[in-house]
Structure 1
């Protein structure tokens, strides 16, 4: 069967104008004006998309797909994500990671969940390793995991500058990043090191030292949560201006904002105004991760849970409230993470790419239809394909 989208305003993420999109076999076949000749074929399903904009399917590069949390005891372990949570939020490609609890959850859990999401119709990948070091892997070796497990595209999330991290030395961290790079080279994958940044005073220091003292390139690192306080954000802006990638977390709480966290939409606008390359900025949701609160002594006080819906909500905020150009706003959840993670068929609307499309209302930018690999997952803002147990 073929699916034909008629009269979309297409952002690829660059604006392509009003065109039609023909897809089949999970791929985009044609993007062109007036594909009416296909609409008459019996094997073609036609969707009229007048007054709708077409964006590439969203890529969320940091989701605790097996759940996260646990900082307040076993009852604070957060639940794993559902496929419909992702599709309703426009996410067609997800990258899973372990969080603070790398013992109660492990790489076998993570890879199994990713495989399950793939069977349900999404594209799913993972980082091998864990918050703590020595990192937990499936095969016992970072290079082997990246080389021989299809879903594994890098190492992470490794925690630094955080009171919950293992306080890894520069030598240990250098070896991990080098192994990830080697695994990526051998397997034709990104081999990125996805780094969790806490609110500690060291900030990005250890990453900058590794870059200065070794041959490892700045682009091998993908630091996240770098908008969690003004000092770290300022450091991240300079890091990005020097050619690094920065990832802003969209899930937040009123308390975090009150304590100085820079909202992701605002962080994007500031970065663009300060001359950061628009191709070096990404958003991720930290969905299903716990958002813990600690007192001044580091004692746990409570937590909330990250939401995958915050990913596109932050993009909408950037467009509608902060006047960021549509192309620049959607790039941070489409083309940019796809390029950084070397997901070669993701992030753009063009011939030969995976048929991952999000249709949004051209007035209020709300999600209307979500298509993953050419299959309609959501219509009129609601899932039409449910989870296995729904």
Structure 2
């Protein structure tokens, strides 16, 4: 079936004005102000967007498909993510990592969950490794994981500036980054080193040391949780101007905000004010990770779960705060896609995957979602559920 969306204000993410968009075989086949299909025997579903905003399906560079956490004991391990969480957030592409727990959570289980979500329509990728060093892999090496396993596109989220990390040295991080880079080069993938940044005083100093002392470029690193506090934002802005992509975490809690974390939408505006290029900023959900609350001595006081819908909420807050729509949709879709070398994602152009969201221009409510031309939400109703979901 062909699907023709008419009278949509298209953001590619740049504002293209009112256009019609034709989807065929999972891709975008045509974009024009007035599209008319002629000929008999052509099965076409036509949808009038009524001037709603048609935007790229969002790209989430960090989620946790098989859950995570457990910092409060086995009973606090977070649950597996269902596909409905991604659909209700308008996220068409997600990348999963392990995190703190690489003992009871495994890369193999994460890959199985990634394939399961793919079977239901979501585009999925994974990072090899976890918080820890030496790096946990499937094949025995970072390089081989990236070369031999299709869904593996980098290493992450390796922890720095965090008591839960392995306190790795600059030489060890340089070696990991080099292995990831070569694995990416040989497989045609991004080969990024995706870093979890904790709230310790060392901040991003390890990255600075690696790039000063070793032959590793700053843009090899892709750090997340940059919105933890103002000092980290400022140091991140400095490195972003040297070419490093920064990722902001949308999931948060009142406790974390009270301790200085900056909500992602506010941090996007802050980074732009600091002179960081739009192209150097992305946002992620940390979906199904644990969001622990530690005291000054590292003792756990409580934890909550990261939410996929936090990305949509951040998009809506950015728009309400007056950030230009083209900027917002670049931050939520195209920037991560480009950094991760997902060439057919995060954009509305001929030949790109037909991952599309329809938003109301007044309330910014998400009404319709397509994954590679397949309708996943219709007027707010989710059409695809997990195998065991009611």
SS in 1 for 2:293: strand
Provide, for residues 130-170 of structure 1, a one-character-per-residue CA deviation record: whole Å limited to 9, x for no partner: 11111111111100000011100000100000011111111
Map 1:68-147; keep pairs closer than 5 Å. 68-147=68-147
| Offset of residue 39 of structure 1 | 9.8
Task: Kindly state the Cα deviation for residue 290 of structure 1 after the two structures are TM-superposed.
Answer: 0.5
Determine if contact 2:218/2:239 at 8 Å carries over to the other structure. no
Match of residue 205 from structure 2: 205
Q: Which residue of 2 aligns with 1:192?
A: 192
**Residue pairs, 1:264-275, within 5 angstroms:** 264-275=264-275
- Residue of structure 2 in register with 1:8 after alignment: 8
Where does residue 256 of structure 1 map in the other structure?
A: 256
RMSD: 1.1
Residue 364 (structure 2) aligns with:
365
- Matches of 2:353 and 2:219, distance apart in 1: 25
* Distance change (3 Å), C-alpha of 1:38 and 1:150: farther
Corresponding position of 1:180:
180
Following superposition, the deviation at residue 315 of structure 1 comes to: 1.4
- Say which is worse superposed, 228-237 or 187-196, in terms of deviation: 228-237
Going from structure 1 to structure 2, the CA distance change for 1:21 and 1:226 (only over 3 Å counts) comes to same
SS class of match (2:261): coil
Whole-angstrom distance in 2 between the partners of 1:295 and 1:213: 34
Distance apart, 1:38 and its partner CA: 5.2
Q: CA deviation at 1:175?
A: 0.7
Q: Are positions 1:384 and 2:380 aligned together?
A: no
2:17 corresponds in structure 1 to 17
The whole-number CA distance in structure 2 between the counterparts of 1:264 and 1:40 is 50
Q: Secondary structure at the match of 1:227?
A: helix
SS for the counterpart of 2:174 is helix
Distance 2:312 2:38 in 1: 32
Displacement of 1:276 in angstroms is: 0.6
Could you tell me how far apart the structure 1 residues matched to 2:187 and 2:37 are?
A: 42
Contact 1:218–1:243, Cα closer than 8 Å, also in 2? yes
Question: Helix, strand or coil: the match of 2:228?
Answer: coil
Taking a change above 3 Å as real, the CA distance of residues 257 and 183 of structure 1, as seen in their structure-2 partners, is: same
Taking structure 1 as reference, are residues 39 and 323 closer, same or farther at Cα in structure 2, changes over 3 Å only?
farther
Structure-2 residue corresponding to 1:236:
236
Q: CA deviation at 1:51?
A: 3.0
Structure 1 residues without counterparts, runs of 5 or longer: none
Partner of 1:329: 328
CA positional deviation for 1:22 = 0.5
Q: Give the corresponding residue for 2:346.
A: 347
What's the TM-score once normalised by structure 1's chain length? 0.98
**Counterpart position of 1:375:** 374
* CA distance in structure 2 between the aligned counterparts of 1:246 and 1:362, rounded to whole angstroms: 28
Please state how far the C-alpha of 1:242 moved relative to its aligned partner.
2.2
For residues 233 and 88 of structure 2, the distance between their equivalents in structure 1, rounded to whole angstroms, comes to: 30
* Correspondences of 1:40-51 after superposition (within 5 Å): 42-51=42-51
Per-residue CA deviation, residues 231-266 of structure 1 (Å, 9 max, x unaligned), is 111211111122211000010011111111111111
Distance of 1:33 and 1:85 partners within structure 2: 33
The runs of 4+ residues in structure 1 deviating greater than 4 Å are: 38-41
Unaligned stretches of 5+ residues in structure 2: none
Alignment check: 8 A CA contact 2:13 2:334 kept: yes
